[in-house]
Amino acid sequence: MLIVGELINASRKAIGEAIKAQDVEYIQKVAKDEFEAGANYIDVNAGIFVGKEPEYLQWLVKLVQEVVDCPCCLDSPDPKAIEAALSVHKGTPMINSISLEKERYDALLPVIAGTDLKVVALCMSDDGMPETMDARLKIAEKLIGGLVKNNVPIENIYVDPLVQPLSVNSSFAVEFINSVEAIMTQFKGVHTMCGLSNISYGLPVRKFMNQAFAIMAIAKGLDGLIINPLDKMMMASLVTAEALAGRDNFCVNYLKAFRNKQFDFLG
């Protein structure tokens, strides 16, 4: 399971303020916390700073990689911001994200083509957000096809089928998890990943629902998540779901998590 730590995102108030104030210490503390809690990539996003996004995204990458030995997930639709970040990034980052929206696709494809970058391929097109499994599959097929044709290995592609709120339509969770299963089955070697919080938008007890949704998606084959790795219950759920999904031989990681007291929050 690939875990992307989602916290260093300018749309979160504390991070937005820290970026504005150039608060190195705070950003680096969050990066360290995420890494120590199990993040494989640290997402960096400076999207709210129009005009300054390239500069700030580059700054974030530098700060993060000064304190953790971990690649970043460069969270921007803007090729200028991505390129500024890439110019200082050590190792192989993940680009978050390309989509089938023409402007975004055309702008990001040249940056990604022929590289060994990991890339999130978001199931969104100029026709809007897909609601059904079929609509998602059509977009996924075009995105995967286009990327592979442009020499991006399928193993480097993380399709994000796009989570939509259950409060809007009672079938949105099922359509999503069935999309995960279909994508993982039909495109051998590809990965799937997503953020979770949209699923519970407008509903109470959101963290609990997000976590159940993650477990269900893992049952269907999801192998990547953009989450808050400091959420102890979420991380315990993931290590448990991974064991149940047959991805943890002899439950080694599950037992290690138990020994490391990662279930102690249960009391």
**161 vs 135: CA distance, rounded Å:** 10
Between 44 and 215, CB nearer to a second copy:
215
CB nearer to a second copy: pick between 14 and 252:
252
Task: Tell me the backbone φ, ψ of residue 210, rounded to 5 degrees.
Answer: -55, -40
Closest approach of Cβ 242 to a second copy, in Å? 10
- Residues with Cβ within 8 Å of 91's Cβ and at least 6 positions away in sequence, in order, are 71
Query: Residue 40: what residue type?
Result: N
* Binding letters toward a second copy, positions 236-255, x by CB under 8 A: xx--xx-xxxx-xxxx--xx
The interface with a second copy within residues 10-29 (CB under 8 A) comprises none
CB of 245 to a second copy, least distance (A): 6
Q: Which is nearer to a second copy, 76 or 262 (by Cβ)? A: 262
SS3 of the chain: helix, strand, coil, percent, to 5:
50, 15, 35
Would you say 129 and 164 are in contact if contact means Cβ atoms under 8 Å apart? Answer: yes
Residue 207 Cβ vs a second copy, minimum distance, rounded to whole Å: 8
- Distance between CA 141 and CA 187 in Å, rounded? 8
The footprint of a second copy on residues 169-188 (CB under 8 A) is 170-171, 173-174, 177
Task: Supply the minimum distance, in Å, between the C-beta of residue 97 and a second copy.
Answer: 24
Q: Which residue number, 49 or 258, has a Cβ lying nearer to a second copy?
A: 258
Residue 140: enclosing H or E segment and its boundaries? Answer: helix 133-149
- Ramachandran angles phi, psi of 241, nearest 5°: -65, -35
Among 11, 87, 167, 186, binds a second copy (CB under 8 A): 167
Q: Does 266 bind a second copy (CB under 8 A)?
A: yes
The angle that helices 53-67 and 79-86 make with each other, rounded to 10 degrees, is 30
- How is residue 99 annotated by DSSP? E
Q: Confirm or reject binding of residue 125 to a second copy (CB under 8 A).
A: no
Check residue 136 for interaction with a second copy (CB under 8 A). Answer: no
Alpha helices per DSSP H over 69-165: 79-86, 102-112, 133-149
Q: Kindly tell me which residue out of 108, 166, 194, 234 binds a second copy, with binding defined by CB under 8 A.
A: 166
Closest CA to 68 of 115, 1, 8: 8
Are 96 and 68 a contacting pair, CB within 8 Å?
no
Cβ proximity to a second copy, 28 vs 171, nearer residue? 171
Binding mask 195-234 for a second copy (x = CB under 8 A): ----x---xxx--xx--xx-xxxxxx--------------
The CB-of-159 to a second copy minimum distance in angstroms stands at 18
What single letter denotes the amino acid at residue 227? I
List residues binding a second copy (CB under 8 A): 166-167, 170-171, 173-174, 177, 199, 203-205, 208-209, 212-213, 215-220, 236-237, 240-241, 243-246, 248-251, 254-255, 258, 263, 266
